[in-house]
């Protein structure tokens, strides 16, 4: 009773992917009754409820474990077929990867351009906040992720990529209007640019700057959910914000942005998590990403603040999303 029958595992995956028992039955070319019986048998075998019978169907926490196993099994089967030269394995390898928007807008896409295409590899990117990409790994929706969490998801390995540095900046006109006194007070009141409601970076910066765990950025918040749009909103003077170093430095040099004083960069650690699979394509992509990260991100050891204008007055703030409310 310890084995997980593969037909039942594949059926559970089909139900989750298709959303309903009827759609899964059509995809598997069996009857809805057969799908229901297989899922029930698997739940009896595991002693756990694996699906929430909603519309669409959703996997429970235990079901996510089985779904992840099913996706890994399908990947291993495809890789084996490819190595054996079987017809079903000759198509391009598909690798779903979760990545945060700022990495996507700065260093990640040029890195993917280095991935060898013999045999061809299809990359399917899922954009998500770096503190939430592990959820996609846990659900089995992606095989790898750029994440801020050093704690590996079950069945995954983790490696440090480096530190993504953010600089607190504003337009010259905005700074002249709103940031004229003490930064510890001004940043609690001035309009702020925020990526989305998961974005805690500006609040964390104010907490670290003031030393007040209950502090946060101002109540006037403009939500701009693209990396380029976020940068442009800061340049336009809608608010202040933490902009990736790669995006902010050219604008600082051009005078379109000014650094907030005291200039204290915010460093966000980034990690690469991936399934523990002997997949040649996944291993190749992982090495390419790690190499590009070494070139583009700050090292994870002691770091020096990198002001755009004049000497830094204090060291970088280290942001660990695992310890922020």
What are the structural domain ranges in the chain? 1-89, 93-299
Compute the distance between CA of residue 136 and CA of residue 98 in angstroms, rounded to an integer. Answer: 7
Contacts within 8 Å (CB) and 24+ apart, 174-181: 174/237, 174/238, 174/239, 174/240, 175/240, 175/258, 175/260, 178/240, 179/240, 179/260
Q: Render pLDDT for 234-293 as a digit per residue (tens, 0 to 9).
A: 999 999 999 999 999 999 999 999 999 767 899 999 999 998 877 888 999 999 999 999
Cβ contact 317:266 at 8 Å:
yes
Cβ contact 190:205 at 8 Å:
no
Q: Is the peptide bond before 262 cis (omega within 30 degrees of 0)?
A: yes
List, in sequence order, every residue forming a beta bridge with 272; answer none if it has no partner: 146, 159
Share of the chain residues as helix, strand and coil, in percent rounded to the nearest 5: 45, 20, 35
Q: What is the pLDDT of residue 312?
A: 31
**Bigger pLDDT: 322 or 50?**
50
- Weakest mean pLDDT among 6-15, 95-104, 132-141: 132-141
Domain 93-299 classified CATH 3.40.190.290?
A: yes
Within 85-124, residue ranges assigned H as helices are 101-103, 109-112
Q: What is the pLDDT of residue 47?
A: 87
Q: What is the pLDDT of residue 202?
A: 95
Q: What is the pLDDT of residue 319?
A: 58
Q: What is the pLDDT of residue 169?
A: 96
Banded pLDDT at 324 (limits 50, 70, 90): very low
Q: Render pLDDT for 280-313 as a digit per residue (tens, 0 to 9).
A: 889 999 999 999 999 999 998 644 433 322 223 3
Residues 6+ positions from 133 with CB-CB distance below 8 Å: 98, 99, 100, 126, 142, 145, 146, 147, 273
The topology (CATH level 3) of 1-89 is Arc Repressor Mutant, subunit A (1.10.10)
Q: Over range 146-174, report the average pLDDT.
A: 93
Q: What is the pLDDT of residue 2?
A: 67
pLDDT at 1 over 90: no
Banded pLDDT at 155 (limits 50, 70, 90): confident
- Weakest mean pLDDT among 10-24, 84-98, 219-233: 84-98
pLDDT at 133 over 90: no
Q: What is the pLDDT of residue 262?
A: 63
CB atoms within 10 A of CB 66: 24
Q: Looking at the whole model, is its pTM more than 0.85?
A: no
Nearest to 14 by CA among 78, 80, 59, 62: 59
Q: What is the pLDDT of residue 325?
A: 29
List, in sequence order, every residue forming a beta bridge with 271; answer none if it has no partner: 147, 160
Q: Render pLDDT for 78-131 as a digit per residue (tens, 0 to 9).
A: 777 766 655 554 567 788 999 999 999 999 999 999 999 877 888 999 998 877
Q: What is the pLDDT of residue 91?
A: 62
């Amino acid at each position: 009773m310890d084995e997980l029958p593969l037909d039942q595992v594949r059926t559970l995956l089909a139900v989750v992917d298709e959303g309903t028992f009827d759609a899964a039955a059509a995809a598997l070319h069996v009857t809805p009754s057969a799908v229901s019986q297989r899922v029930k048998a698997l739940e009896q075998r595991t002693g756990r409820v694996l699906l929430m019978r909603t519309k669409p169907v959703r996997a429970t926490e235990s079901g996510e474990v089985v779904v992840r196993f099913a996706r890994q099994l399908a990947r291993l089967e495809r890789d084996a077929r490819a190595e054996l030269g079987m017809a079903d394995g000759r198509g391009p390898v598909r690798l779903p990867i979760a990545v945060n928007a700022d990495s996507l807008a700065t260093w990640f896409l040029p890195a993917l351009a280095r991935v060898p295409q013999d045999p061809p590899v299809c990359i399917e990117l899922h954009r998500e906040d770096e503190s939430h990409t592990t959820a996609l790994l846990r659900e089995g929706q992606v095989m790898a992720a750029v994440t801020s969490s050093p704690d590996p998801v079950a069945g995954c390995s983790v490696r440090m990529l480096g530190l993504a540095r953010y600089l607190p900046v504003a337009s010259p006109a905005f700074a002249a209007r709103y940031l004229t006194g003490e930064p510890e007070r001004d940043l609690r009141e001035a309009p702020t640019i925020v990526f989305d409601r998961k974005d805690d970076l500006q609040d964390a910066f104010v907490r670290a700057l003031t030393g007040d765990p209950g502090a946060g950025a101002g109540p006037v918040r403009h939500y701009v959910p693209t990396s380029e749009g976020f940068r442009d909103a800061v340049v336009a003077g809608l608010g202040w914000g933490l902009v990736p170093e790669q995006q902010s430095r050219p604008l600082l040099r051009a005078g379109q942005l000014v650094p907030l004083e005291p200039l204290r960069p915010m460093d966000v650690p980034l990690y690469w998590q991936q399934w523990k699979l002997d997949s040649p394509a996944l291993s190749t992509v992982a090495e390419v990403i790690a190499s590009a990260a070494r070139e583009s991100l700050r090292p994870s050891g002691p770091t020096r603040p990198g002001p755009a204008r004049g000497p830094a007055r204090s060291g970088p703030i280290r942001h660990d999303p695992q310890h922020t409310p």
